Amino acid sequence: FTFVSCFSVVLPVTPLICLVNYLISMRLDAYKLCKGRRRPLAEKTGGIGVWEHLLHIVAVISVLTNCWLIGFTSSQFIWIGEQVGQVSLFAIVVCWEHFMLLIKYILQTAISPLPKTVRDAMKKERFVLDEQRNKSMRKRGRRSQYHRQSQHGGPKVLQDPTV
């Protein structure tokens, strides 16, 4: 992911090379798991953990790298640099890079990490669990009230002290 996102501007065939590399690697790993070793035990996790933060960092670094590579190696930007000067070109590249980071941030906040169907299923599961818990608590409340009454010989009747 890092090679593709950071250096595909320099060598546009990089994604194809990485795809072939990962397909071969995946097949070799599958062969090793099926023929050479036992299947690893699966562990349930709540997400990808620290890797999510690492992917965000790599995305920011790739935006910076691509903007700077295009800004100082592209013929259009070199022409702009000749017209307005190197300092102005530097300012244009910095503004462009910040604009691209703003677009990344807007997309990151606008797109939910969970699809709507998954969110709805989680809400439904939470609702069912809450209903089961409430039903269980109501049953326990009735049992404990009944249990208290049977221990003390029936329901307690408050007597008026004036009688």
Tell me the per-residue pLDDT of 113-131, one tens digit each, with 9 for 90 and over: 888 898 899 999 999 999 9
The answer to whether 4 and 14 are in contact (CB under 8 A) is yes
How confident is the prediction for the chain on average, in pLDDT? 82
pTM: 0.61
Alpha carbons within 13 angstroms on the beta-carbon side of residue 33 total: 9
- E strands present in the chain: none
More confident residue, 127 or 144: 127
SS3 133: helix
For residues 76 and 89, give the distance between their C-alpha atoms in angstroms, rounded to a whole number: 11
Contacts of 6 (CB under 8 A, 6+ apart): 58, 61, 62, 65, 66
Q: Which of 93, 53, 42 is nearest to 71 (CA)?
A: 93
Query: Per mean pLDDT, which range of 37-41, 64-68, 133-137, 148-152 is the poorest?
Result: 148-152
Is 133's pLDDT higher than 70? yes
Residue with tokens 């910076």, as numbered in its chain: 64
Question: What does the angle CA 146 – CA 152 – CA 157 come to, to the nearest 5 degrees?
Answer: 85
Residue 2: CB atoms within 10 A of its CB come to 15
Percent of the chain exceeding pLDDT 90 equals 36
Mean pLDDT to the nearest integer, 24-38 = 85
Confidence at residue 97, expressed as pLDDT on a 0 to 100 scale: 95
